[in-house]
């Protein structure tokens, strides 16, 4: 299976709605490494590393978000320097 790496940024109502916890649960279920964090401007940023099919499933989950969230925009960058890290597990960053 091919490895896929995605740097993702989401905007909308994505903070204060359990988005990071939702993301971590889905990442662990899909065996994805990386991290998620809130940004000062109200967006959420994440890096996903895993099997291509699982990363694509993760992106679909992110578009939906937890029940009280509203995702207005999801942008994906596959050439970000944030993808150069080595990831072990999935973490919530602060």
Tell me, yes or no, if 26 is annotated catalytic.
Answer: no
Give the Cα separation of 17 and 69 in Å (integer): 6
Q: Which of 20, 26, 33, 54 is catalytic?
A: 20
Which of 88, 76, 3, 81 minimizes the C-alpha distance to 45? Answer: 76
Q: Which of 9, 26, 29, 38 is catalytic?
A: 38
- The phi-psi region of residue 34 (left if phi > 0; otherwise alpha if psi is between -120 and 50; otherwise beta) is left
Tell me, yes or no, if 29 is annotated catalytic.
Answer: no
Active site residues: 20, 38
């Amino acid at each position: 299976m091919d490895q896929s790496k995605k740097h993702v940024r989401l905007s909308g109502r994505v903070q204060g709605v359990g988005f990071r916890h939702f993301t971590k649960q889905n990442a662990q279920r899909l065996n994805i490494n990386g991290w998620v964090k809130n940004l000062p401007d109200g967006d959420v940023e994440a890096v996903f590393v895993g099997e291509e099919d699982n990363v694509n499933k993760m992106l679909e989950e992110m578009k939906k978000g937890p029940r009280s969230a509203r995702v207005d925009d999801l942008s994906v960058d596959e050439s970000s320097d944030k993808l150069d890290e080595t990831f072990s597990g999935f973490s919530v960053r602060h």
